Copies of this chain bind each other. A is one copy, B any other.
Amino acid sequence: MRQPEYLRTVQSFVRSELIGQEALLDSLAPAPLPLYDRFAETGLANWWLPKEVGGLGLSLAESVRIVAELAYGDAGVAFTLFIPVLTSSMVNWYAEPELAERYLGRMSAENGYCATLGSEHEAGSELVRISTTVRADGDALILNGMKAFSTDTDFAQFLVVIAKSDGPAGFQAVLVPRDAPGVAIDHRWDVNGLRASATYQVSLTDVRVPAANALRGNGLRLLEVGLNASRILIAATALGIARRIRDTCMDYAKDKMVKGAPLATNAVFAAKLGQFEMQIEVMANQCLAAAREYDAIASQPDAAAEFLKLGTLRSALSTKMFCGQTGWQIASTASEMFGGLGYTSDAVIGKLLRDMRYVSIIEGGDDVLRDLMFTRYVVPVSKRG
């Protein structure tokens, strides 16, 4: 089956810019790396942005394929490139049309970034406990607070901040230009993996934006909607890493001799790789099934309202949980396959293991997601799968 053009472009980018560059990609080099410009040169930057704002309008199912390919090369690069979808999808559906067009249009035209400021140190995964505030001041909104983990923020064009409001909505999601006075990067985190990406702690001190910058609807619910896409794409990075691990194992096993024969002919090795292949297929099918369900909603005329009604989709929860767990099994098993060399920086498996770890941590650990799954989809009998 012939690959679509955009996928071949991504594969070519991966081969020329990522494969073999693991040391650089793992070095926490200053962000953004020059290679991000070269991705923009392919014309695929922000591939999911709607055609209405000048984007390519690729679907989430297509995004799954793109992200899995990118993550085959480097999950940190993939994450840097797709995580703006979390922010842009909230803006696309819930910002005033003029505001959405202005910011998404510029983002599309200039291959820019945007970022969401949600999680806080105290609140952790319980966003209901966030302490960042937004208050009305005449025709403006004033934001104050500190946000713990936000990716791409430093070089983003605009941000969406989730804040506690004194208004009736309780929480608001507010679009803030990156260069608004009072927005300060506290520091970039030294992360265990995904080190080609850049995640920041950010402070907001009397940040003032027009009242029209507030998105419509409860901020926490909007965040739930935005996380549907990003969780599915985080899962897709697990798929890409898993494929890279499989191929790395096979490359190693071709030449490595065990008991007088290549490791690739060893029955125990074959059993592990056969299991990996099964798991990879199931991961791929789950990512695509979830993405198609999302795309089906997104293509409805009232998509914004429908997503608001549904909030966190079961498929998004399932996909991130499943791919995080399965990816970790694959990475754990593979990390024992390369002997002593596999425990050194000469082998790529150590990096792949660290990269894989983020899938089960970011945007809700499994404990949080299992609890959410139970409450939303097991307790209500009619919603069970």
Contact = CB atoms under 8 A, between A and B. Distances in A.
A282 interface: yes
A384 B243 contact: yes
A208 interface: no
Interface in A275-331: 275-282, 284-286, 288-290, 314-315, 317-318, 321-322, 328
A186 interface: no
Nearest to A249: B378
A328 B318 contact: no
Contacts of A266: 267
A377 B277 contact: yes
Nearest to A331: B332
A375 interface: yes
Contacts of A149: 340
Contacts of A358: 343
Contacts of A181: none
A267 B119 CA distance: 23
A271 B374 contact: yes
A138 interface: no
Contacts of A340: 119, 148-149, 361-362
A288 B292 CA distance: 13
Interface stretch (A38-46, A93-101, A121-129, A172-180): A121-129
Interface in A317-366: 317-318, 321-322, 328, 332, 335-337, 339-346, 350, 353-354, 357-358, 360-362, 365-366
A256 interface: yes
Contacts of A317: 278
Contacts of A279: 322
Q: How many identical subunits does the complex contain?
A: 4
Nearest to A128: B259
Contact of A285 (B246, B276, B277, B289): B289
Contacts of A365: 336-337, 339
A24 interface: no
A88 B123 CA distance: 53
A319 B328 CA distance: 20
A370 B191 contact: no
A335 to B, nearest CB: 6
A266 B370 CA distance: 13
Contacts of A373: 274-275, 277-278
A148 B246 CA distance: 25
Contact of A126 (B119, B259, B337, B341): B259
Contact of A190 (B124, B276, B345): B345
20 contacts: A119-B340, A190-B346, A192-B343, A192-B345, A267-B267, A277-B318, A277-B377, A277-B384, A277-B385, A278-B322, A278-B373, A279-B322, A280-B384, A282-B318, A336-B361, A336-B365, A336-B366, A336-B367, A342-B361, A350-B354
